[in-house]
Amino acid sequence: MPFTPVHMGPGILVKAMLQSSFSLMVFGWTQIVMDIQPLIVMITGEGHLHGFTHTYAGAVLIAIIAALSGKYLSESGLKILGMRKQQPIVILWWVSFLSAFIGSFSHVLLDSIMHTDVEPFYPVILVNDFHGFVSIEALHKFCLYSGLVGTAIYYGVSWRVSKT
């Protein structure tokens, strides 16, 4: 993806389906952590643009780091935003880890389809069979439409729950 926010579309759809069993904040934090390594390469001009962080082995490490740090960052962010004023804001550990793993693995998959230099199964397999699976335009549409559908579902469910 050209920008980390594009990855949020599928995350919004997952949030709509899993509701409180998924943290969109931790998912989003994971997207940022995943793209720190490519950002450093773009700034310095040194290294492999989509290196180890864009492999499934790297995604496991990134997910652990993002889950451990993202739980507290997300809870603090939600408090600052004034969410759930009547209840304490707590993201359960399993929700944080699930959200981070979905975030890091989906990030590798989406970038594997788009970028030629991603080697998702490194160091076992050095070939990216996902590249070009669908066109970049179709991939971007998928991310956009999944976000729009997810938003509609999320607010539809929230509206329905508030009526009961």
Give the pLDDT score at 163. Answer: 84
CA-based radius of gyration for the chain: 17
Mean pLDDT of the chain: 92
Beta-carbon count within 10 A of 45 CB: 6
**pLDDT by residue (tens digit) across 14-25?**
999 999 999 999
Nearest to residue 56, comparing CAs of 114, 1, 128, 158?
128
| 86, pLDDT greater than 80 | no
Give the pLDDT score at 164. Answer: 75
- Distance from C-alpha of 131 to C-alpha of 159, rounded to nearest angstrom: 40
**pLDDT by residue (tens digit) across 88-113?**
789 999 999 999 999 999 999 999 99
Beta-carbon count within 10 A of 82 CB: 7
How many structural domains does the chain have? 1
Secondary structure in 3-state letters for 106-152: HHHHHHHHHCCCCCCCCCCCCCCCCCCCCCHHHHHHHHHHHHHHHHH
Confidence of residue 140 (pLDDT cuts 50, 70, 90): very high
Give the pLDDT score at 162. Answer: 84
**pLDDT by residue (tens digit) across 10-68?**
999 999 999 999 999 999 999 999 999 999 999 999 998 999 999 999 999 999 999 99
Identity at 36, one-letter amino acid code: I
**Residue-range definition of the domain harbouring residue 19:** 4-163
